[in-house]
Chains A and B, each alone.
Chain A
Amino acid sequence: EPEVTQTPSHQVTQMGQEVILRCVPISNHLYFYWYRQILGQKVEFLVSFYNNEISEKSEIFDDQFSVERPDGSNFTLKIRSTKLEDSAMYFCASRPSGRRYEQYFGPGTRLTVT
């Protein structure tokens, strides 16, 4: 069964550093998402991406965040200058056309900012 993959599984970085989280969505999916979950809290939407552009973003997704699909398979989330409060699990998701509520999530990247 095809699945979304994410790398790295765990990233430790110092405050102020840039990080790039990588995702490989399911190959025939066209819609891509990033969510995050701070330890013990809800899963929160960050951004959705379709046809090489952002279709929606949350208040959390400020100028420090960016997304890119650099080639036909990867989907990345960049945080330019990390803060302590960016520490969280970051989940990538993708979905096929026509099934808006059926999103397939990756295993997540645990980001720890020190």
Chain B
Amino acid sequence: LAKTTQPISMDSYEGQEVNITCSHNNIATNDYITWYQQFPSQGPRFIIQGYKTKVTNEVASLFIPADRKSSTLSLPRVSLSDTAVYYCLVGDMNFGNEKLTFGTGTRLTIIP
């Protein structure tokens, strides 16, 4: 499993775009990048997954540069309800362990 590094915490104001960057310098060729969100006292929730370039869904966008050594989760026009912990996970989609390995994540606080 590739080791990931992300900021411990971030603050942002409502209505702003928030970008959370994750470093994964030793990402392997078969690894995908996945982001989860966890609200207080709830289970983690899958947000988005990508391999390269850009992926967008109704919740977020994921930007992955050509070298894939980092990725950026982008949340457009955040609201107070986006206050949560965001986890970056990197691993092989097809082989290896079944488990998800969560780090400490990035605690995002949205300020009114």
Q: Which residues from chain A sit less than 8 Å from chain B, CB to CB?
A: 4, 31, 33, 35, 42-45, 48, 50, 55-56, 58, 89, 91, 93, 99-108, 110
Closest A residue to B35 by beta carbon equals A101
* Chain A to chain B contacts (Cβ below 8 Å), 20 pairs: A4-B43, A33-B98, A35-B43, A42-B102, A42-B103, A42-B104, A43-B87, A45-B99, A56-B97, A58-B99, A91-B43, A91-B44, A100-B94, A100-B98, A101-B93, A101-B100, A103-B46, A104-B46, A105-B43, A108-B42
A-B contact count (CB 8 A): 62
Q: Which residues from chain B sit less than 8 Å from chain A, CB to CB?
A: 32, 34, 38, 41-46, 49, 87, 89, 91, 93-94, 97-104
Contact A101 B41 (CB under 8 A): no
